Chain A
Amino acid sequence: MKGERTRIGVPRALGYYEYHAVWEAFFGELGVDAVTSGPTTKRLVDLGVGAAIDEACLPVKVFYGHVRALMERDDLDFIFLPRLVSVERRSFICPKFMGIPDMIRVNLVPRVPLLDVCVDMSRGSGGLRRAAVEVGERLGAGKRQALGALKVACGLWREGMAASGKRRPQCQPRSARRGSDGTGTGNAPEEPALNLLTLGHAYNLDDPYTSLGLREHLKELGCEVWTVDDFPPASLEEAIAGLPRHLFWTSGRRILAAARHVAQHHCVDGIVHLVSFGCGPDSLVGEMVQRETLRRGGMPFLLLTIDEHSGEAGLLTRLEAFVDMIRRRRAAGAPGGRGLPA
């Protein structure tokens, strides 16, 4: 049953995790209710796996599942299906993000109109403004109103960004010397928490279902979990500035920057990189991450590849082994990550 206000369904997958705050604020400003498809569940994954081609990566299948879940509802006026081509200059997200609205439109025969809009900021923020105006139009808002809503949404977004990256104090370079006297903290507690950096796409890491509860498990194992968002953007930029050529995937660039940063400053004890089976960008970025960390002194590194068949038990075993290995190394005198000053 449709209410008075326009209701727009937002699939809680892919770009949602990074950008939902902007979308929701934008729709809110336009007086439109954004309704998500809810957390990922087995049923949603099954729905997606049933509709996507086998060769697609899990996040794409999960996206299909969320859209199908939205299509089952009869209280929506639109389903929001942004084509996220680029969110910053000279960069892209992933070719599959560029094609997904078509993949959905062609395969799922939606009853509800799709609100697909192309967001391409590879040549500047004009692309975002155009997208806002276009969405506004479809929702019956004028250009001024849409741009106003966008301004508010982006303001909120920037505040959020400024807050992240301050959550952790700046990571200072540890003394370059290695060995039993290299820890430098002096007053280490008996069983110090391990600092682990989790790398991966937000739609994997922030989705407890597809990530198989990675973050929770790490916490249970006594680890302090870091993510890319914990580093000030400036340090990330600095860390990646030395690369010979521009890395053009937004997420891959942040992942590699964070890896370089922690490998240089030794501020964590290890890296856990979560990738989807068959992920194109990560197949190369992951390789660079491993080589970077190896080159800079061999930080413990765990690559976790997940797909729809991965099980939590297997993940847990690997995490335990990884954490044990780091603790043993520590006990044997290897320096720990500096981590946080208490």
Chain B
Amino acid sequence: MRLTFPHMGPVHIGITTIFRDLGVDIVAPPPITRRTVALGVKHSPEMACFPLKISVGNYLEARELGVDTIGMLGGVGPCRLGYYADVEREILDGLGAGMEMVVLDPPQGKPGRLLRAISRLTGGKPLRQVWRSIQFGWSKIVEIDRLDQEVPRARVFEAQPGVTRAVRAQAYRLIEEASSVVEAKRAGDLAVEALRSISLGHGAKSPQGRPLTVGLVGEIYMLLEPAANMDLEERLGRLGVITRRALTVSDWVRLHLFPGPWKSKDGAVVHAAARPYLNHFVGGEGVESVGQTVLYQRMGLDGVIHVGPLTCMPEIVAASVLPQVARDLDFPVMTLFLDEHSGEAGIQTRLEAFVDLLRRRRQRQREQGTGRFGATSARQQLAAGLGVHGDA
């Protein structure tokens, strides 16, 4: 058996670690390229959501690496993700791909279920060992999240274009190759240090004024996968904008896989913030998108970009109420629905226009002495936990 799974940002680093540690022959699909997307689009239902299409492309490309088994997350609704595996299995069978789809259902309060399912995939490794390997994989995810948090600032301040990207790529590789929790931690520490020195070190360019900070909210796949979101964070970085992502990989694991042991305490805060606008779970990340937008406003960010795949149901609900959030809070919010037909030029134009709007708004606030440049600015910044490395 050679196992693979769909990509989603850097998740593959955690997953391959877990299964390799358990002695499973596992390969991540090749990195997502135009070809991946084209393959997936060709064989998926036209109106399926974008993540499903890319996943199908992942499987077909992984098949070229001799993969015969796919591990895919199941689900219990209400959103499409829970039914992806069934449709994907049909698609692959229809193509005669000869790949077996193993569905790992989320534990739903019974973490043992997922452990047992993984144990079955590994030919019956003891649960305790499975759990140890999961913790090992988890430690890498945590390191990745930690270094990812430093990336947006470094990107904006880097003196040498592209250096942040290179440092991150290398750090990912080191973390991926780490053979112990300690080693992963060390790689993470190194990366964080390197990235901080980029944003603080000598030669760090100091852009005009404190950089804009924009929150990114939306559907998890679009948030995490640069190949799906047109490299949104990188693009914004080039426009001199520091990005803050509402959800990280570890958040997602907490939300969907192990709501038990690692349940995020912030969940309740986010839901409370969303409540005046969206008072019920709507699947996916709909409520998170709304709640985080409200929270980002409170933190004093300059604006929010909301991303979702076209036809994404929870994000359509969120996008329906976000304009009112923006009006009530006088806070710029832009929604981007993306799919395989989205054109780069169009997205770039919209981003530039949005960033322009934020700059003008910042300028206005500066002149009027309101917003974060008013008397409470420093306190607000501390509250926001943004750090004060800028030149405000």
Q: Are A287 and B87 in contact (CB under 8 A)?
A: yes
Q: Are A55 and B85 in contact (CB under 8 A)?
A: no
- A56-B320, A280-B80, A287-B45 known; A95 vs B86 contact (CB < 8 Å): no
Q: For B262, what are the chain A residues with a Cβ–Cβ distance below 8 Å?
A: none
Query: Which residues of chain A in 303-332 are interfacial with respect to chain B, using CB atoms and an 8 Å cutoff?
Result: 305
> Does A248 belong to the interface (CB within 8 Å)?
yes
Smallest distance from the beta carbon of A115 to chain B beta carbons, Å?
15
Q: Are A283 and B311 in contact (CB under 8 A)?
A: yes
Q: Are B49 and A103 in contact (CB under 8 A)?
A: no
Q: Are B321 and A280 in contact (CB under 8 A)?
A: no
Smallest distance from the beta carbon of B75 to chain A beta carbons, Å?
8
A273-286 Cβ-contact flags toward B at 8 Å (1 or 0): 00101111111101
Q: For B52, what are the chain A residues with a Cβ–Cβ distance below 8 Å?
A: 284
Q: For A141, what are the chain B residues with a Cβ–Cβ distance below 8 Å?
A: none
Smallest distance from the beta carbon of A63 to chain B beta carbons, Å?
12
The docked-state distance in angstroms from the alpha carbon of A123 to that of B85 is 24
> Does B215 belong to the interface (CB within 8 Å)?
no
Smallest distance from the beta carbon of A123 to chain B beta carbons, Å?
12
> Does A68 belong to the interface (CB within 8 Å)?
no
Q: Are B280 and A288 in contact (CB under 8 A)?
A: no
The docked-state distance in angstroms from the alpha carbon of A283 to that of B80 is 9
Most A C-beta atoms less than 10 A away, residue of B85, B312, B317 = B317
Q: For A246, what are the chain B residues with a Cβ–Cβ distance below 8 Å?
A: 76
Q: Are A248 and B78 in contact (CB under 8 A)?
A: yes
Q: Are B48 and A287 in contact (CB under 8 A)?
A: yes
The docked-state distance in angstroms from the alpha carbon of A244 to that of B88 is 13
Q: For B98, what are the chain A residues with a Cβ–Cβ distance below 8 Å?
A: none
Contact of A96 among B46, B86, B317 (CB under 8 A): B317
> Does A177 belong to the interface (CB within 8 Å)?
no
Q: For A62, what are the chain B residues with a Cβ–Cβ distance below 8 Å?
A: none
B43-84 Cβ-contact flags toward A at 8 Å (1 or 0): 001111100100000000000000000000010111110111
**Which of chain B's residues has its CB closest to A249's CB?**
B77
B310-350 Cβ-contact flags toward A at 8 Å (1 or 0): 11111011011101100000000000010000000000000
> Does B279 belong to the interface (CB within 8 Å)?
yes
Contact of A284 among B87, B94, B280 (CB under 8 A): B87
Q: For B94, what are the chain A residues with a Cβ–Cβ distance below 8 Å?
A: 291
Smallest distance from the beta carbon of B321 to chain A beta carbons, Å?
5
Q: Are B320 and A103 in contact (CB under 8 A)?
A: yes
Q: Are B311 and A55 in contact (CB under 8 A)?
A: yes
> Does B277 belong to the interface (CB within 8 Å)?
yes
B82-116 Cβ-contact flags toward A at 8 Å (1 or 0): 11111101110010000000010000000000000
> Does A237 belong to the interface (CB within 8 Å)?
no
**Which of chain A's residues has its CB closest to B76's CB?**
A248
Stretch from B162-170, B192-200, B281-289, B362-370 forming part of the interface with A: B281-289
Q: For A60, what are the chain B residues with a Cβ–Cβ distance below 8 Å?
A: 316
Q: For A305, what are the chain B residues with a Cβ–Cβ distance below 8 Å?
A: 47
Q: Are B280 and A245 in contact (CB under 8 A)?
A: no
> Does B156 belong to the interface (CB within 8 Å)?
no
Smallest distance from the beta carbon of A85 to chain B beta carbons, Å?
7
A121-142 Cβ-contact flags toward B at 8 Å (1 or 0): 0000000000000000000000
**Which of chain B's residues has its CB closest to A281's CB?**
B80
> Does A247 belong to the interface (CB within 8 Å)?
yes
The docked-state distance in angstroms from the alpha carbon of A261 to that of B45 is 22
Smallest distance from the beta carbon of B295 to chain A beta carbons, Å?
18
Interface bracket on B? 35 or more
Q: Are A278 and B311 in contact (CB under 8 A)?
A: yes
Stretch from A86-94, A154-162, A218-226 forming part of the interface with B: A86-94
The docked-state distance in angstroms from the alpha carbon of A285 to that of B248 is 30
Q: Are B45 and A284 in contact (CB under 8 A)?
A: yes
- A118-B280, A244-B86, A287-B45 known; A280 vs B320 contact (CB < 8 Å): no
> Does B3 belong to the interface (CB within 8 Å)?
no
Q: Are A92 and B280 in contact (CB under 8 A)?
A: no
Q: Are A287 and B90 in contact (CB under 8 A)?
A: yes
The docked-state distance in angstroms from the alpha carbon of A52 to that of B103 is 37
Most A C-beta atoms less than 10 A away, residue of B52, B286, B313 = B313
The docked-state distance in angstroms from the alpha carbon of A60 to that of B320 is 11
Smallest distance from the beta carbon of A284 to chain B beta carbons, Å?
5
**Which of chain B's residues has its CB closest to A99's CB?**
B317
Query: Which residues of chain A in 212-258 are interfacial with respect to chain B, using CB atoms and an 8 Å cutoff?
Result: 243-249
Q: For A247, what are the chain B residues with a Cβ–Cβ distance below 8 Å?
A: 83, 86
A89-116 Cβ-contact flags toward B at 8 Å (1 or 0): 0111111101111110011000000000
Q: Are A283 and B79 in contact (CB under 8 A)?
A: no
> Does B217 belong to the interface (CB within 8 Å)?
no
The docked-state distance in angstroms from the alpha carbon of A100 to that of B282 is 10
Q: Are B320 and A288 in contact (CB under 8 A)?
A: no
Q: For B223, what are the chain A residues with a Cβ–Cβ distance below 8 Å?
A: none
- A107-B321, A278-B47, A280-B79 known; A95 vs B87 contact (CB < 8 Å): no
Smallest distance from the beta carbon of A55 to chain B beta carbons, Å?
5
Q: For B47, what are the chain A residues with a Cβ–Cβ distance below 8 Å?
A: 275, 277-279, 282-283, 286, 305
> Does B294 belong to the interface (CB within 8 Å)?
no
Q: Are B311 and A102 in contact (CB under 8 A)?
A: no
Smallest distance from the beta carbon of A183 to chain B beta carbons, Å?
30
**Which of chain A's residues has its CB closest to B78's CB?**
A92
The docked-state distance in angstroms from the alpha carbon of A266 to that of B82 is 30
Q: Are A107 and B76 in contact (CB under 8 A)?
A: no
The docked-state distance in angstroms from the alpha carbon of A291 to that of B92 is 12
Q: For B337, what are the chain A residues with a Cβ–Cβ distance below 8 Å?
A: 55
> Does A188 belong to the interface (CB within 8 Å)?
no
The docked-state distance in angstroms from the alpha carbon of A283 to that of B312 is 11
Contact of A94 among B78, B85, B312, B321 (CB under 8 A): B78
Contact of B83 among A100, A248, A279 (CB under 8 A): A248
> Does A83 belong to the interface (CB within 8 Å)?
yes
The docked-state distance in angstroms from the alpha carbon of A101 to that of B89 is 35
The docked-state distance in angstroms from the alpha carbon of A118 to that of B278 is 13
What are 26 A-to-B residue pairs whose CB atoms are below 8 Å? A55-B316, A55-B337, A60-B316, A91-B77, A95-B79, A95-B284, A96-B282, A98-B283, A98-B317, A99-B280, A99-B320, A99-B321, A103-B321, A106-B321, A107-B323, A107-B324, A245-B85, A247-B83, A278-B47, A279-B47, A280-B49, A283-B45, A283-B311, A284-B52, A284-B80, A288-B86
| Interface residues in chain A, defined as those with a beta carbon under 8 Å from any beta carbon in chain B | 52-53, 55-56, 60, 83, 85, 90-96, 98-103, 106-107, 118, 243-249, 275, 277-284, 286-288, 291, 305
